[in-house]
A and B are shown apart, each in its own frame.
Chain A
Amino acid sequence: MERYNDSCGSFRKLPVTLALSVGLCFSAQATSQDSFPSKDLTYMNPFSPGGEIDVTARQQQPLLEEYFDRNVSITYRTGGGGAVGWSHLKDQPADGYTIGGFSLPHIIAQPMVRDPGYATDDLKLAYIFHSTPQVLVVREDSPVENLDDFIELARNNPASVTIGGTGEATGNHLGAVRLMREADINLTWIPFPGTGPTIPALEGGHVSALMTNSTAAYQNRDKFRALAVAWDERLPFMENVPTFQEQGYDVVEAIYRGVLVPADTPDDVVETLAAGFDTVNQEIEGKQTDMGAFVHFWGPEESAQLVERLKDEYSVLLEDL
């Protein structure tokens, strides 16, 4: 399992900072007469207002405006699980003035299972600001006390244990698929149109469990019992919840969120954007953790590496679906 230096204290920002300072030197030479950004930015959100990307973008907006000394306007272009927004963004001028929020695995998995109007390579990731590792939760009053109980229940009742989450080929779904493969159990996946409706579905007992984002698990910690976290270490805000790996199942799955631009955008522009987001992300780190998000500071290179690694993993997972 490749590890990211996410928790190594002050060192975690080092690679980005180095990359950025080098990038900034180049960009200063290359675009001295017309330095980016010379006009206002558009920050497109492919999901409806109120979700994680929206909340984060609204936290970033005033700080980005301060950093770039330009207006940053947030627009929405929603539908198709984000596909409408990304297929629009890929055709925008590749000058860095139109940036879009994104989430992984969506931009990798969607082109693998259907034609969403864009290819993963039409888009260039500029920055990843946080992730929400997947968490398996059941109701607080459930007789299922831990992951072993859950797996035993699923073994004894094939297909009748239901697990809810968002959509198909999403982070939630792939987390559930990984668990089914690793533990060799047969769960019934019940897709919902968003995270919102999954919460009352579990609370009302309409599904047996949820594979959900750390944000939802953290915000509903009074009502739901978290059985395991799909990450390679325990989450700082959920220290008492063990990982799947600790319990012998290699399940690691998270939804990563960040910003991207059309693929042809010049590297120095992307680096400038990443530097802005890096500064802003450090300022809102506390607010993000309060939401139950796991903050990252990954620039374009680390983001691209992650995409390459996940592409291989998902092509195997999705073939089985």
Chain B
Amino acid sequence: MDVLLAGLGNVLSVEALLLVALGTVIGLFVGCVPGLTATMSLALLVPFTFTMDPLSGLVMLGGVYTASMYGGAFSAILINTPGTPGAIATMLDGYPLARRGEGERAIVGATLASVFGGVIGFLALLLLAPVLTIAALKFGPPEYFWVAMLGLALIAALSQGMMLKGLMGGAIGMLLGTIGISPVGGESRFLFGTPALQGGVELIVALIGLFAVPEYIRMIGNARRSITTRQDGAALPFARVVKEVIRQPFNLFRSAGIGTIVGIIPGAGNNVAGLLAYSEAQRASKQPEEYGHGSMEGLCASESSNNAAVCGSMVPLLTLGVPGSPPAAVLFGALMMHGLTPGTRLFTENGALTYGFIFSLGLAALALLPVGIYGGRLILRMMANVPVGFLVPTIGLMTLLGAYSMRNSMVDVFLMVGVGLFGFVLRELGVNPATIALGLILGPIAEQGFSQAMLMGRAYDVPALALVQSPLSIALACMVLFSISLPSLRRAKRWLATRSQGE
């Protein structure tokens, strides 16, 4: 308890508060530019923290991490391109809202949900970290496989009425995900003689291609911006959006819960968190048909989940000494460089510092509210008022720079343009690019979990039994079966209902 209060005291200094604010502003900028990733910006900032004391350094880095996850929502809503992979699901509903002139409502709603998710994740990290760690350790290769399958079941929801095209998109995504060195076995796949492809298709590069390029083509083709502001120009009543968001407590809590858990599982990360929460929210929703056409519920589910995952990914870092996500790996390095070894000893030997860092993550989550509402309105106004003649080249340059800066490689720029044109054609043919993104994200996770599980089953007569060895994997497998059969169950129910009415 003493260390807890000492930690809180550490953070409530003027210096620490200013650093949190600075960190969130930097993070917001990084987050909303696709191609500037949290991982890279943290890596660039780490040397600057050398001259600071460890807590100040960590506080600033924590602020950047938190805000960059949130900032991804801006570009998702305004230019239909997730600024961070975690914002894919945000885009599905945020962008339709912006197109109908409700961009401000979407941004305010996303901000509120993000703050909520961030605070829940922070409380979980502060109070439940040891318990959650035990839960996370239950996830082995078979469980990863089933989690990925659960995410892929979202394809069904994304492609209502066009199942075949949805599956096609998912398969194309999974195929893209196999480029590079195979995770088990180490063979090189689909390199076409280009050594640079050994690194595979970088997720951000593919996302820029799949979403920003078609958007860009559309903007040029129509010679006008695709989002509009409300015609009457009246300010949006803030209180109304607040009410709209807090009217869905179950959705918010469920999504934040999913986000926290997925964040804790090392390797899953916040992109999976947002997608899973979105698909669960849709399944539980009373208006599932609104999802993908500007549903506030879907937007809130995605945002509260991916922000809860930020604190979630800190749990394994601080308790197990294992980074749960790539940005957390940089924080791991930063801790090491300040002479702190991540792991349980962090709490006993450097308690005040560790709790200080945890509190700063909570503060950063709260800081999103003013920074996000003010900054969000600014960006929205800019997007709505800057002449298209300036907007088009600016976005074009940003996407090129973004793709290049991922690995300082022209190959990524060509990939981005190629995937973009391909995605544009597919979209014209009715394949939802989100299904491709889903396959690209979850395919490699599923492949690795599957092949590792099969290796583990080498000693059994039927190796596939390793996939359903633990109670958790059986439970997850049942959830997958349930979510696949749910549409048919719903149809059967409706059929029964109409028949009984007829009698």
Q: Does B241 contact A (CB under 8 A)?
A: no
Contact A196 B266 (CB under 8 A): yes
Q: Does A99 contact B (CB under 8 A)?
A: no
In the docked arrangement, what's the CA distance between A59 and B50, Å? 10
In the docked arrangement, what's the CA distance between A297 and B332, Å? 26
Write out, one digit per residue, whether chain A residues 199-211 have a CB within 8 A of any chain B CB (1) or not (0).
Answer: 1110111110000
| B345 cross-chain contacts in A, Cβ below 8 A | 222
In the docked arrangement, what's the CA distance between A86 and B141, Å? 31
| B199 cross-chain contacts in A, Cβ below 8 A | 78-80, 84
| B458 cross-chain contacts in A, Cβ below 8 A | 159-160, 188
Contact A49 B333 (CB under 8 A): yes
In the docked arrangement, what's the CA distance between A75 and B455, Å? 36
- The stretch from B180-188, B295-303, B304-312, B361-369 touching chain A is B180-188
Q: Does B126 contact A (CB under 8 A)?
A: no
Name the distance in Å between A283's Cβ and chain B's nearest Cβ. 14
A180-204 contacts to B, CB under 8 A, are 188-193, 196-197, 199-201, 203-204
- Nearest residue in A to B200 (C-beta to C-beta)? A79
B172-186 contacts to A, CB under 8 A, are 180-181, 183-186
Q: Does B195 contact A (CB under 8 A)?
A: yes
- Nearest residue in A to B46 (C-beta to C-beta)? A58
| B200 cross-chain contacts in A, Cβ below 8 A | 79-80
Name the distance in Å between B43's Cβ and chain A's nearest Cβ. 4
In the docked arrangement, what's the CA distance between A169 and B187, Å? 11
In the docked arrangement, what's the CA distance between A59 and B345, Å? 23
Write out, one digit per residue, whether chain B residues 446-466 have a CB within 8 A of any chain A CB (1) or not (0).
Answer: 001000100110110000000
A196 contact from B196, B322, B331, B409, Cβ within 8 A: B322
Q: Does A256 contact B (CB under 8 A)?
A: no
A151-169 contacts to B, CB under 8 A, are 157-160, 162, 167-169
| B46 cross-chain contacts in A, Cβ below 8 A | 49, 58
Q: Does B343 contact A (CB under 8 A)?
A: yes
Interface residue tally for chain B (C-beta within 8 Å): 56
Name the distance in Å between B460's Cβ and chain A's nearest Cβ. 8
Contact B336 A199 (CB under 8 A): no
Contact A80 B180 (CB under 8 A): yes
Q: Does A118 contact B (CB under 8 A)?
A: yes
Q: Does B42 contact A (CB under 8 A)?
A: yes
Name the distance in Å between A193's Cβ and chain B's nearest Cβ. 6
Q: Does A83 contact B (CB under 8 A)?
A: yes
B215-254 contacts to A, CB under 8 A, are none
Contact A291 B455 (CB under 8 A): no
In the docked arrangement, what's the CA distance between A167 and B188, Å? 13
- Nearest residue in A to B341 (C-beta to C-beta)? A219
Q: Does B140 contact A (CB under 8 A)?
A: yes
In the docked arrangement, what's the CA distance between A291 and B332, Å? 12
Q: Does A50 contact B (CB under 8 A)?
A: yes
- Nearest residue in A to B411 (C-beta to C-beta)? A84
- The stretch from A109-117, A237-245, A271-279 touching chain B is A109-117
| B140 cross-chain contacts in A, Cβ below 8 A | 201, 204-206
Q: Does B494 contact A (CB under 8 A)?
A: no
Contact A50 B329 (CB under 8 A): yes
A227-271 contacts to B, CB under 8 A, are none
- Nearest residue in B to A206 (C-beta to C-beta)? B140
Known A-B contacts A84-B198, A200-B320; the reply to A188 vs B47 at CB < 8 A is no
- The stretch from B113-121, B131-139, B396-404 touching chain A is B131-139
B306-359 contacts to A, CB under 8 A, are 316, 320-323, 326, 329-333, 336-337, 339, 341-345
Q: Does A303 contact B (CB under 8 A)?
A: no
Q: Does A77 contact B (CB under 8 A)?
A: yes
Contact B186 A199 (CB under 8 A): no
Name the distance in Å between B452's Cβ and chain A's nearest Cβ. 5
The 6 A-B pairs at the shortest CB distance, nearest first, are namely A79-B199, A117-B195, A80-B198, A50-B329, A206-B140, A160-B459
A54-B43, A79-B180 known, 12 other contacts, Cβ within 8 Å: A59-B337, A76-B40, A77-B409, A78-B199, A81-B181, A88-B409, A116-B198, A188-B455, A196-B266, A200-B316, A201-B140, A206-B141
Q: What is B's interface to A at a CB cutoff of 8 Å?
A: 39-40, 42-43, 46-47, 50, 136-141, 180-181, 183-188, 195-196, 198-200, 266-267, 316, 320-323, 326, 329-333, 336-337, 339, 341-345, 407-409, 448, 452, 455-456, 458-459
10 contacts between A and B (CB under 8 A): A49-B43, A79-B198, A80-B181, A80-B200, A87-B195, A191-B184, A191-B186, A199-B321, A201-B140, A222-B345
